[in-house]
Structure 1
Amino acid sequence: MNNKTQIDFNGLTKTTESTSAISKLSYGLETAYHLGLTKDEIKYQIKQAKNNNNFPPNLEYKETFNDTKTGLSTSVFVDKNTGKAIIGVAGTNINKDNILDSMQDIYADKNIGLNVVNQYDPYFKETQKFIKRIQEEYDVETITGHSKGGRDATILGISNNIKNIVTYNSAPLSIPEINLLKRSLKYLVTPFNNLPKKPDFAISMLKLLQLLSLKNTFKNYNGTITNFRTNYDPLTTTSFISHGIYFGKFITIHNGTKHSIDNFFDSKSQLKINKTLDSLTIKALISNKINTHQLVSEIKEVSIKLLNNYHGANTATSEKLLNDVVAYVLLKTLEDNIQQEFKSIKKVLEKKEQEFKENWSSGLEDAQHIDNLLNENEVLDALELGGATEQNSVVDILKIIKKKKDKLNKIESSYQTYTNKIQNSIKTITNNDHELASALGFTP
C-alpha cells in the first residue's frame, strides 16, 4: 500500500448526493494520481471509505485521466443503482507537493478572466479524446465539477451532449461578454488610419468568434445544466457583477458559506441538492415523449408500401391488419419507453424509502446520545411529545410511496394487456391469410 497520500473523504457520508461527492473526490484523485498512487491503491482507499460510511456505496470508481500538459483532470464513476456513468472534473487544485500542476491550474484560472475558450481549445484536446472513449465504454449520464471544474464540466458536457451537467460554485465560461463585444465593435468603427495593430485586432475578433461558437454549441445541447452556489460565494457573486457568462439554471443555497466544495455537505444543503436533482429527473422523464404523430405516419407509410405489393388481399382485412400493425408498433414503442421511465421513477421512490428509514434510525441514535439516562421507550415518548413518531415520519410516508409504485405497476400492466390483445388480433388475421402475412413480413 502506497502511503504517500491519503485521499480526503472529510464531510462525505454513505448518503451524500452523488455529484457533490464526486466533485469533491475529483480533487483528491487528481492529487493521488500525481503522487503516484495506482488504480488499485485508489480503489482500496475508496473501499475503506465505504466501509467507514464515508462515501456512497453505489458509486464504483473506474479511472482517472490527467492531462499533464494542461493540468485538466477527470475521473469516472458508475452509479450501480442506475448503471450510468458520472464524470467528475477537478477544479483549481493548489498542492505544495505538485507545483507544476498547481501552476497549470492557476494559468487556466487566469484564462477565464482574460480569454475565451471553447471545446476546440488545446486545453481540452486530450480530455475530449478521453471522454469520447469513455462514452463508447459507458452510458455517461452526468458530468460534474466545482469552481474551475464546473466551468470545464459545462464546456465538456455541452460539446459531448452529456444529459446532465451539475456544477458547484462554478467559474464563468468567460468574463465579461459585454466588454468583449464593445471592444470588437470599437475596432470595427475606428477610422482606418487609427486601427489597432493587426495582432491585437485579430486576437479580439478570435475571442468573439470563440464565444459565438460556444453559444452555438449550447443552442444544440439537449440536456440540463444545474448550477448550485452558496449565497456568500465570492466567485459567482463577482462573476455576476462582471457580467460573467454562464449556461443553465442557478440554484442558490442559503447556508451563509463561501466557496469551498465542503460547504455543500451539511444536511440542509444536501436536502436542497437532492430535491432539486430528483425533481429534474422526474420532469425529464415526464417530458421525454416520442412524437406519436410522426411515428404513426412512418409506420403507415411503410405498411402501405408493403400492402401495395400484395394484390390478392381482401380490402377490409388488409385495412384491419394495417390499423392493428400501426396500433401495435405504436403501443409497443410507448410501452418500452414507459417501462424505462417507470424504472427510473421507481428508483427515485426506492431511494426516498431508504432515506426516510435511515433518517428515523439516525434520529433515534442521536437522541440516545444526548442523554444516556433515557432508554429507547423514553426517547420515543420524548419524540412523540415533539410531534415526531415512527408512524408519521416513516410508516405513513412509506404507504404513500407504495401507492405510487402500485399505480405505476397498474399502468404498466394495462399497456401489456392491450398490446397482447392487438398482437393476438394480428395473429388471427395472418393465420387466415398467409399471403397477406408474407407481404407484410409476418409469420403465422
Structure 2
Amino acid sequence: MKNEYQIKLKETSNGTEETSAVSLISYEIENAKDHGLTNDKIKEQVRDLSRHGNFPQNLKYVESYSDPGTGTTSTAFLNKDTGKVIVGMTGTNVHMEQVKKVGQTPYVPITIPFVKSQDYKDTLGTAQDVGADVNIGIKSVTHEDVHFKKSQAFIKKIKKNHEIDTITGHSLGGRDAIILGTSNDIQNIVVYNTAPITVKTIRKYIPFYGHSSSLRDESVDKLIKKYDGNILRIVSEKDELTNIVDKTDYVFAGNQMVIKNGKGHSMSDFLGKREQREIKARLNEMKGYKDANSKSFVAAKKQMDNKLEKVDEVRANMLQMGGGALSSSQQKLLESVTALSIAESMNKLIEEETQQLEKMYRKMEEKFEKNWEDAQESGMQIGEHLSTSEVLEALDAGGANESNLVIDPKYTISYKIQQLTETKVFYSLFILKVQSSIDDIVEKDQMLANQIGDLI
C-alpha cells in the first residue's frame, strides 16, 4: 500500500504569526494535493500539526484548490480568533529532485496532462511555475487573465460562506496575492519577498508585446489605485529576487518593510524569533488603527442605543399619560432629543477617528520621505554613470518624483483630515442648534421638562 503524503513543517509553532505560517504551509498543501490527498485528509494533518505545537492553533484549514492548467494553488484558513479567513497563495514550487529524475528518463512526456507518474506531475508543476515567473518579464498579468480564472472562482466560493480578511503569499505567490487581493477588495494583503507585478525592462527587447503590455499596465494601475486596503511587502535584507528586480524598471504595489536579517529569499527566512517579532509588531501597528476605530464605533453606538432606549421609554410613558396620543410639543421634543442623541454619538466617533488619522498621518509622513529617498538611492545605483540630474529626470519619466511620492500623498491625507474636521464642526453646530431648540421647549413647559427627566 502506498504511503500517504505527510505535510512537513519544521520552522513553525503555535506562536508563529498567521500570514507567515499560511504562506509557508501553502507549499506543503500544494504538494499534498499533487500527491492525491483530499481536503479531509489535509484538514486532519493540519489539525495534528496544531495539536503537536507545530502550527498556530487558531488557524483551521477550510479547503484549497490547485488549478491543473496553471499550477496555481489557493488555500483558505479560518482564523478562529477573528472568525475571518486568510487565503494563502503558493509561490514557485520547485521539485529539483523530480526534475532531475525525469531529465534522465529516455522519454519525457511532461506536456501530456494525464501522465500519472508523480515525478512527471511534479516536473510539470515546476515548469508551470517557472513559466509564470518568466511571464512577469514579458507582460503584466491582470486579474481578468485566464491564469487567474479558477483562482478567482475559488475565492468567490470561499466568500459565500466566510469573510476573507487577509490574503498572503511568498515570491510568485505574493504577486498572485496582490492581484487577487486588490481585485476582490480583500482588506489586508501581506506578502513575503514577492515577485513584482511586472518587469518592464525585458519588454524593450520584445517589441511584439509593446501595445498589449501598455493596455495591461493601465488595467493593473487602475486596479491598484482603486484599491483602498493595506498592502505590505515584507522583504528580507539579502533577498536575491528583490536585489535583482531593484536594478530594473519594475512595478510593485504597497508599502515595503525590510527586515535587516542578512538572509535570502526562502520563506523559512522569516520564521526566526527576531523576524517574527518584527513582523508581528508591524502588523499590530497596521491593525491598531482599525481596532481603535472599531472600538470607537462600538462605544459610540452603545451610547446612542442606550440614549434612544430611554427616549422610547419616555415616549411610552407620555403615550400612556396622554391616552395614546402625543401633543405637538411632546412630539417635537422627542424628535429633538432623538436627533441630539444621534448627533452627539456621531460627533464623538468623528472626533476619535480624526485623532487616529492624525496619528497615522504623522507616521506616514516619515514613510513618504523614506520612499522618495529609497527611490533616489536605487536610481543612483542603477544609473551609476549618470549625473544626479539625469537620474532624477529618468525617475521622473517613470513617475517617481517628489511630487508623486511625497507632496501628493501628504496633500491627499491632509485633505481627508480637513474634510473630517469640517464634518465635526458641522455636527457641533447642529448639536448646539438642537440643544437650543430643546431648551426653548422645556423652558416654556415645566411639565415637559419633568417628563423628559435626565435625557437632557
TM-score tier, shorter chain, comes to: 0.5 to 0.7
Letter in 2 for 1:265: L
Task: Give the C-alpha shift of residue 135 in structure 1.
Answer: 1.1
The Cα offsets for residues 165-208 of structure 1, whole Å up to 9 and x where unpaired, read as 000000000002x776x899xxxxxxxxxxx8xxx3xx311111
Matches of 2:293 and 2:142, distance apart in 1: 30
The Cα offsets for residues 358-378 of structure 1, whole Å up to 9 and x where unpaired, read as xxxxxxxxxxxxxxxxxxxxx
**Equivalent in the alignment of 1:223:** 229
Aligned sequence identity (%): 34
Matches of 2:134 and 2:242, distance apart in 1: 15
Letter in 1 for 2:91: G
Matches of 2:340 and 2:167, distance apart in 1: 39
C-alpha contact (below 8 Å) 2:164/2:186 kept by paired residues: yes
TM-score by length of 1: 0.63
Task: Give the C-alpha shift of residue 142 in structure 1.
Answer: 0.1
Aligned residue pairs, count: 306
Q: Output aligned runs, 1:192-207, within 5 Å.
A: 200=208, 203-207=209-213
| 2:20 paired with 1:7 | no
| 2:306 paired with 1:282 | no
**Equivalent in the alignment of 1:210:** 216
Matches of 1:2 and 1:13, distance apart in 2: 29
**Equivalent in the alignment of 2:60:** 60
Q: 1:99 aligned to 120, 123, 126, which one?
A: 123
Give the SS at the match of 1:75: strand
Question: Given the superposition, is the C-alpha separation of residues 287 and 265 from structure 1 closer, same or farther in structure 2, using an over 3 Å criterion?
Answer: same
Q: 1:323 aligned to 336, 340, 345, which one?
A: 336
C-alpha contact (below 8 Å) 1:7/1:32 kept by paired residues: yes
Question: Given the superposition, is the C-alpha separation of residues 334 and 25 from structure 1 closer, same or farther in structure 2, using an over 3 Å criterion?
Answer: farther
Matches of 1:94 and 1:334, distance apart in 2: 56
Question: Given the superposition, is the C-alpha separation of residues 53 and 138 from structure 1 closer, same or farther in structure 2, using an over 3 Å criterion?
Answer: same
C-alpha contact (below 8 Å) 2:234/2:257 kept by paired residues: yes
C-alpha contact (below 8 Å) 1:168/1:228 kept by paired residues: yes
Matches of 2:184 and 2:65, distance apart in 1: 17
Question: Given the superposition, is the C-alpha separation of residues 243 and 139 from structure 1 closer, same or farther in structure 2, using an over 3 Å criterion?
Answer: same
Task: Give the C-alpha shift of residue 4 in structure 1.
Answer: 3.6
**Equivalent in the alignment of 1:174:** 198
Matches of 1:284 and 1:173, distance apart in 2: 27
Matches of 1:2 and 1:55, distance apart in 2: 26
Matches of 1:258 and 1:204, distance apart in 2: 33
Question: Given the superposition, is the C-alpha separation of residues 331 and 88 from structure 1 closer, same or farther in structure 2, using an over 3 Å criterion?
Answer: farther
**Equivalent in the alignment of 1:273:** 279
Question: Given the superposition, is the C-alpha separation of residues 33 and 2 from structure 1 closer, same or farther in structure 2, using an over 3 Å criterion?
Answer: farther
**Equivalent in the alignment of 1:237:** 243
Q: 1:128 aligned to 152, 160, 168, which one?
A: 152
Question: Given the superposition, is the C-alpha separation of residues 286 and 313 from structure 1 closer, same or farther in structure 2, using an over 3 Å criterion?
Answer: same
Give the SS at the match of 2:131: helix
Comparing 122-131 with 159-168, greater Cα deviation is found at: 122-131
Q: Output aligned runs, 1:65-104, within 5 Å.
A: 65-95=65-95, 96=98, 97=119, 98-104=122-128
Matches of 2:61 and 2:2, distance apart in 1: 18
Letter in 2 for 1:277: L
Q: Which runs of 5+ in 1 are unaligned?
A: 185-195, 297-311, 339-424, 434-444
C-alpha contact (below 8 Å) 1:2/1:41 kept by paired residues: no
Matches of 1:41 and 1:115, distance apart in 2: 38
Task: Give the C-alpha shift of residue 323 in structure 1.
Answer: 2.5
Letter in 2 for 1:113: G
Give the SS at the match of 1:42: helix
Matches of 1:213 and 1:220, distance apart in 2: 11
Matches of 2:60 and 2:52, distance apart in 1: 16
The Cα offsets for residues 25-52 of structure 1, whole Å up to 9 and x where unpaired, read as 0000011001001222212221221122
Q: Which runs of 5+ in 2 are unaligned?
A: 99-118, 305-324, 352-437, 449-456
**Equivalent in the alignment of 2:427:** none
C-alpha contact (below 8 Å) 1:63/1:76 kept by paired residues: yes
Q: Which runs of 4+ in 1 moved over 4 A?
A: 287-290, 312-316, 329-338
Letter in 2 for 1:226: L
C-alpha contact (below 8 Å) 2:78/2:86 kept by paired residues: yes
C-alpha contact (below 8 Å) 2:137/2:202 kept by paired residues: no
C-alpha contact (below 8 Å) 2:85/2:165 kept by paired residues: yes
Task: Give the C-alpha shift of residue 332 in structure 1.
Answer: 6.9
Letter in 1 for 2:53: N
**Equivalent in the alignment of 1:154:** 178
**Equivalent in the alignment of 1:28:** 28
